[in-house]
Chains A and B, each alone.
Chain A
């Protein structure tokens, strides 16, 4: 069988070919965007296996819904939104299966971090980029899924408050307080780690 080489094709051509059933073209789209989709799933889920499963599911759904892709955004943005929605569904499903902790209830109303003193974190001091990445990753893992998701959608997906509220099914006020809490807690966690690192 003669398989066309798609490695030099542009994104629009790949999408057109994939829509016509060319799986090799779709494979090229997967190869170009797979890290991005996985990274978003990992940021939200904090679990490698779940992130792998959900990013794989996103690609299957992407193939099935290719005709719905209008080209209003880049293909990468479109497929990333699919994985975000899958992650949100999974996180909501998981939340239904575990009891809310008292801490999580406090988080929604701001928690103690809202009133804590301002902290200073200097990322260039003493920490290598890779080490810093790991510490940020650990700190993100300590946030509740609602706070982490708002942070991920704002900082990585660059969504506005209104878009986040729509995606998460909550009010803009809730988005603002969750984002504020998440940032303050992250700063506190990283400042604390920094102190430990220096002692």
Chain B
């Protein structure tokens, strides 16, 4: 018998065939001894498994098994309670950092408006903004040979963190 026919026979025994095909299969079983023998084997195997799980018992006492579950539940609740991100910290990161950046831009704009594009004087410090990136500032002091660059906006990973924290809320 071909595999397809064998699987169809099995589907018939499992009640998975449509009514018309089930009738055809019943006729076939009545006619063909080979199909009938296979059907008998499949039925028998199924009968052997009946009630098999009913004899399996959990090998621990009710109290001991429950004590382990209770411990795990309490542990998971404890860790869930202690781990949530603080919402105000996320808000602080999200709004305060850009506000600080804006304030710095405003100060720089005010200074530039009063003193021209640069306020370089011999031996003094210079503050510059890069046109390509208005959020970046450079501080240079020729006397001490120091150059500092700072960014007024939050880093990308900080934004991502703030976004995730807000989503959790």
B157 within 8 A of A: no
Residue of B whose beta carbon sits closest to that of A119? B41
The interface residues of chain B, by DSSP majority, are classed as: helix
Complex interface: chain A residues within 8 A of B44 (CB):
120-123, 187
Cβ–Cβ contact B48 & A118, under 8 A: no
Complex interface: chain B residues within 8 A of A48 (CB):
59
Known contacts A40-B53, A121-B48, A161-B16; is-contact A176 B10 (Cβ 8 Å): yes
A136 within 8 A of B: yes
Complex interface: chain A residues within 8 A of B85 (CB):
none
Which residues of B, 1-54, contact A by the 8 Å Cβ criterion?
A: 3, 6-7, 10-11, 14, 16, 34, 37-38, 40-42, 44-50, 52-54
Contact size range, A: 35 or more
Return the CB mask of B60-81 against A: 1 if under 8 Å, else 0: 1010011011101100100000
CA distance A30 to B6 in the complex (A): 42
CA distance A27 to B47 in the complex (A): 34
Cβ–Cβ contact B58 & A23, under 8 A: no
Cβ–Cβ contact B16 & A118, under 8 A: no
Return the CB mask of A11-55 against B: 1 if under 8 Å, else 0: 000000000000100010011001110111011000010001001
The 3 closest A-B pairs by CB, nearest first: A39-B56, A38-B58, A39-B53
